């Protein structure tokens, strides 16, 4: 039963991301993002890291931080790369991104995620996760420009 609730939450988040992207995609631009995120926790977890936004030929440094609540155990390093869309200026990527997720990483595994912030920026990221981590949680990730 809990698995279906998580699946519904992920479907809702994906639907909202697509809807936000379609509403203003005609006038928005896109760029690329790379992030390195370290995560650790025991029931309540935290994450932090850094990255780079490449937008209109320029690079911008990013900082990340977040909190996870639910079943969180262990520690991991996640390296993600991908695309950010529906932005008009670099500051549009800054904001709070929320997600519900579940997974287990023992050693090295793959990771993919689609996130949307309050400004409508859509992150489509994939990469690898290394460490020992088990989670079924709600998480928030804040991205800021340095």
- pLDDT tens-place string over residues 58-96: 999 999 998 887 778 899 999 999 999 999 999 999 999
- What's the domain range around 19? 2-145
Q: What is the pLDDT of residues 96-133, one digit of tens each?
A: 997 766 666 677 877 788 889 999 999 999 988 889 87
The span from the CA of 82 to the CA of 119, in Å, is 18
Q: What is the pLDDT of residues 64-74, one digit of tens each?
A: 998 887 778 89
- Give Cα 59 to chain centroid, integer Å: 19
Give the global pTM. 0.75
- Give Cα 60 to chain centroid, integer Å: 17
The span from the CA of 103 to the CA of 144, in Å, is 26
The domain tally of the chain equals: 1
pLDDT: is 14 or 112 the higher one? 112
The span from the CA of 146 to the CA of 15, in Å, is 30
The span from the CA of 97 to the CA of 101, in Å, is 13
Residue 18 has pLDDT above 60, yes or no: no
């Amino acid at each position: 039963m809990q698995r279906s609730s998580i699946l519904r939450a992920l479907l809702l988040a994906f639907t909202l991301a697509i809807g936000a992207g379609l509403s203003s995609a005609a006038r928005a631009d896109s760029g690329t993002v790379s992030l390195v995120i370290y995560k650790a926790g025991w029931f309540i977890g935290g994450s932090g890291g850094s990255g780079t936004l490449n937008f209109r030929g320029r690079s911008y440094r990013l900082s990340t931080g977040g909190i996870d609540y639910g079943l969180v155990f262990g520690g991991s390093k996640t390296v993600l790369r991908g695309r950010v869309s529906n932005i008009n200026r670099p500051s549009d990527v800054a904001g709070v991104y929320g997600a519900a997720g579940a997974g287990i990483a023992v050693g090295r595994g793959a990771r993919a995620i689609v996130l949307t912030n309050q400004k409508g920026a859509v992150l489509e990221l994939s990469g690898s996760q290394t460490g020992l981590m088990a989670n079924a949680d709600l998480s928030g990730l804040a991205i800021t420009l340095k």
